[in-house]
Amino acid sequence: MAKHEKFRFKSTLELIAKSRELGFDLPWSESVDALLQPALIQGIRVANRFTVQPMEGFDSDEDGMPGELAFRRYGRYAAGGSGMIWFEAASVLADGRSNPHQMMITDDTLEQFKKLTDHVRKVAEETFGSDHKPFLVLQLTHSGRYSNPGGDFQSKIFSDNPYLNPPHPPTPSPALAALTGEGEHRGVPDTRHPIPDTRYPIPVFYSDSDIDAVKAAYIHGVELAEMAGFDAVDVKACHGYLLHEMLYAFDRTDSRYGGSYENRTSFLREVLNTPSKIIKAVRLSGFDLIPYPYGFGMNSDGSAAIDLLEVKNLISEFAPMVPLWNITAGVPRLAAHVGRPYDRGAFNSPPPDEHPLQGIARLIGITGQLQQTFPDLFFVGTGYSWLRQFYPFVGAGVLENKMASFIGLGRSSFAYPDSPRDLMEKGLADPKKVCISCSKCTEFMRQGGPAGCGVRDMQYKAGGRGQKAKISNKKQDVK
Ligand SMILES: Cc1cc2nc3c(=O)[nH]c(=O)nc-3n(C[C@H](O)[C@H](O)[C@H](O)COP(=O)(O)O)c2cc1C
């Protein structure tokens, strides 16, 4: 493991030299042209290869309506020029929200989502002309063990549950059966994940019928996404949330959702099989670095080795119905650097014992393997923000080497949403505008939002909780 270090590079070549010294061959290109090429997904034109990654802003109202700040954020993305905008996690159920200000896609919020997609298309057209129609994806979520709809882990559901005794309030969870009964807490089984720390509350076990109810909400969510004007809908299966945890419910017994590959993937299968015509997508944690049986994409010998066998089986099986895959990794609440390499961890957490370039090379390498195994599918790559103004050269190299079809930008989109536009117009990204991977956006999120860039965006510079009072969250009335 190479020592962690902060970004200090003055050129792409210096960066590439460092990656070689560390033993990774990062692709790169002298030209950013590959990023500017259009793509065609099931007959829909995508103007270029930039993707705004889903980034929760936690700025909706109690009903989950996208508010004024959401219109601002998505308007900035639209004016920034990305061909694809992957909208943040929208919960399909109130109980599955990770935050009281997380968006929700429901019958009640549908009209507001329609206004939001109209708004984004209008801003894009005004900025780039009628040829430029951003491809819009909505991510559906249920936060599973990280659900926190009340903002204080005081879930109102399962109110007859003994876990409702403070100071150990519950979160709903798929609660893998293998994880129940391992320990006891106040006379009830401790369903905490044995690998994660205990900062999070003990989750409530979800029976098959609880999961059936969530599935029905997802299926409805797919229909709502189509009605709201999205081009595609993402059935999110990553980052430790409900559907991701279900993929590694290896030891869940006597259940339609646990044990065999067939059972663990049956939720995804049924939701993706819905007759809705909208294009289906999946954001998938392709590996977790959490050993089997507590992670997906890991070798079943229990080591820390990545094993893509089941990941490939899943993609191969779902390929006929899912043309678009967005590959991420791990569970950010346990090890954020795995999926988003950084200079400084949130709340000054100790640096990981690997170099950020190692994490980036791992994400690029795994996504590349999947893209090359499934050349007809579209893969979005993750983890580029740490590369700052040099991301376009690495991203273009990835595209030229057919190691992804789109280059996803998360934190960079908060900080510098118009980097695609600068690249189109000037051929370079501006070092004064780039994300510095300081984790302030993550801190805002963990403090309850709203989340944005606390360094580059005036709207968020006041920071964290302090800004809450200053920011109006009232509903946007867009005609
Ligand atoms: C504040 C914040 C909010 C995020 N929200 C989401 C989300 O809603 N859905 C999701 O799949 N990933 C989410 N992510 C992860 C990002 O999409 C992305 O995978 C990660 O930041 C790594 O990409 P980057 O290096 O370009 O930032 C979030 C990350 C941050 C920092």
Element (H, E) at 185: strand 183-185
Check residue 154 and give its pLDDT: 35
367 lines ligand 1 (CB under 6 A): no
Q: Pairing relation of β-strands 84-91 and 135-141?
A: parallel
- Alpha-carbon distance values, 435 to 342, 390, 457 (Å): 10, 12, 10
| CA atoms of 10 and 137, how far apart (whole Å) | 35
102 lines ligand 1 (CB under 6 A): no
Phi, psi of 404 (to 5 degrees): -175, 165
Q: Please give the distance of CA 462 from its chain centroid, rounded to a whole number.
A: 25
Distance 23 CA to ligand 1 centre (A): 27
Token couple for 30: 């002298």
Distance 166 CA to ligand 1 centre (A): 31
- Alpha-carbon distance values, 148 to 175, 188, 247, 304, 364 (Å): 15, 21, 22, 30, 32
Q: Is the peptide bond before 450 cis (omega within 30 degrees of 0)?
A: yes
Check residue 333 and give its pLDDT: 84
| CA atoms of 123 and 75, how far apart (whole Å) | 6
Task: Provide the whole-model pTM.
Answer: 0.92
The answer to whether residues 408 and 372 touch, using CB atoms and an 8 Å cutoff, is: no
339 lines ligand 1 (CB under 6 A): yes
Among 7, 52, 56, 363, which residue has the most ligand 1 atoms within 8 Å of its CB, making it the best to mutate? 56
| CA atoms of 172 and 155, how far apart (whole Å) | 8
Atom of ligand 1 nearest to the CA of 234: 11
- DSSP E strands in 20-150: the ranges are 39-41, 44-46, 50-52, 84-91, 135-141
Check residue 71 and give its pLDDT: 98
Distance 404 CA to ligand 1 centre (A): 18
Q: Residue 223, exposed/middle/buried by CB under 10 A (0-12, 13-18, 19+)?
A: middle
412 lines ligand 1 (CB under 6 A): yes
Distance 383 CA to ligand 1 centre (A): 9
Atom of ligand 1 nearest to the CA of 238: 11
Residue 285 has a CB neighbour count (10 Å cut-off) of 29
| CA atoms of 208 and 267, how far apart (whole Å) | 11
Distance 339 CA to ligand 1 centre (A): 8
Check residue 224 and give its pLDDT: 98
Instruction: Take atom 14 of ligand 1 and give the residue whose Cα is closest.
Output: 55
* Weakly modelled stretches of the chain, pLDDT under 70: 152-204, 463-479
Distance 294 CA to ligand 1 centre (A): 22
Distance 301 CA to ligand 1 centre (A): 30
Element (H, E) at 283: strand 279-285
Residue 192's region, left for phi above 0, alpha for psi from -120 to 50, else beta, is beta
Among 53, 56, 238, 366, which residue has the most ligand 1 atoms within 8 Å of its CB, making it the best to mutate? 53
Domain ranges of the chain: 12-430, 439-471
| CA atoms of 297 and 307, how far apart (whole Å) | 5
Q: Which fold has domain 12-430?
A: TIM Barrel (3.20.20)
Token couple for 57: 């802003």
Token couple for 223: 């229909």
Check residue 172 and give its pLDDT: 31
* Type of residue found at 351: P
pLDDT in tens, 259-307: 899 999 999 999 999 999 999 999 999 999 988 888 899 999 988 899 9
327 lines ligand 1 (CB under 6 A): no
Instruction: Take atom 6 of ligand 1 and give the residue whose Cα is closest.
Output: 55
HSE-up of residue 242 (Cα within 13 Å, Cβ side): 34
Token couple for 199: 């900062």
Q: Which residues of 86-107 are buried (b: 16+ CB within 10 A; e: fewer)?
A: bbbbbbbbbbbbbbbbbbbbbe
308 lines ligand 1 (CB under 6 A): no
The DSSP call for residue 403 is S
